Amino acid sequence: MALEERPREKMLNNGEKSLSNAELLAIILRTGTKKQSVLELANYILNKDSQGIRWLKDITVQELCEIDGIGISKATQIKAALELGIRISSAKPTKYKVANPWDIYKYYMESLRYLNKEIFKIILLNTKNEIICDIDVSVGTLNMSLVHPREVFREAIKRNSNKIILMHNHPSGNIEPSNEDKNVTLRLIKCGDLIGIEVIDHIIIGDGLYYSFKENMII
């Protein structure tokens, strides 16, 4: 391989965006094996599963070590680089103003889209529509027995938030609300009305998609 075509030199000359997934992975791996160049090893790893690069997110260090040419050092380097990328993409600004459902989707998508369990959150807003905080209310399939109004509104009252957004993820990736999703939402809206806390939306996060109850005129 010509010097200028090697991943590291290519990055230095043209920037990281010019590199393929295999070339980026090759830089992390640094060396190949006696039988494979580092780029061939990187391509082998990425093509080992039909999901491509995405399958690396869930694979363990131990499973990576089962791949010929990958030891503890390379496996931990791969997982550390992936985790750093995930943390950067999900890092939150200190003050974030919400103008529409898209703003919520952008803010939370990376931290929710790959979860294997359904998590129901409430997002507390101040009078400027800035996020105060978010609270995990329940884990598991959303239903009225798991989501009690007391748990939903207690933190809002404590933190003087008079408006909240409901949010949960669908691990399946399908963002269409179930009947139970709708029933829970309408129940919480009624409870919020009684105590003066407005439920301004319920947003479902899928894999790269979102569903807003407000945009779809359910709220």
Question: What are the pLDDT tens digits along the chain (219 aa)?
Answer: 555 568 989 999 999 999 999 999 999 999 999 899 999 999 999 998 877 788 888 889 999 999 999 999 999 999 999 998 888 776 666 678 999 999 999 999 888 877 888 999 999 999 999 999 999 998 876 665 568 888 889 989 999 999 999 999 998 888 999 999 999 999 999 999 999 999 999 999 998 899 999 999 988
Whether residue 78 is found in the same domain as residue 126 = no
Whichever domain contains 49, its CATH number is: 1.10.150
Q: What are phi and psi of 36, to 5 degrees?
A: -130, 140
Whether residue 109 is found in the same domain as residue 85 = no
In a domain, residue 151? The reply is yes
Comparing CA positions, the residue from 68, 79, 80, 76 lying closest to residue 32 is 68
Range of the domain at 77: 3-90
Whether residue 40 is found in the same domain as residue 111 = no
Give the DSSP H/E element, type plus range, for residue 190. helix 179-195
Q: Give every strand in the sheet of 198-205, ordered side by side.
A: 131-139, 119-125, 163-169, 198-205, 210-212
Whether residue 42 is found in the same domain as residue 142 = no
Whether residue 167 is found in the same domain as residue 204 = yes
Query: Which of these three, 90, 115, 143, is where a domain ends?
Result: 90
Give the DSSP H/E element, type plus range, for residue 168. strand 163-169
In a domain, residue 217? The reply is no
Count of structural domains, the chain: 2
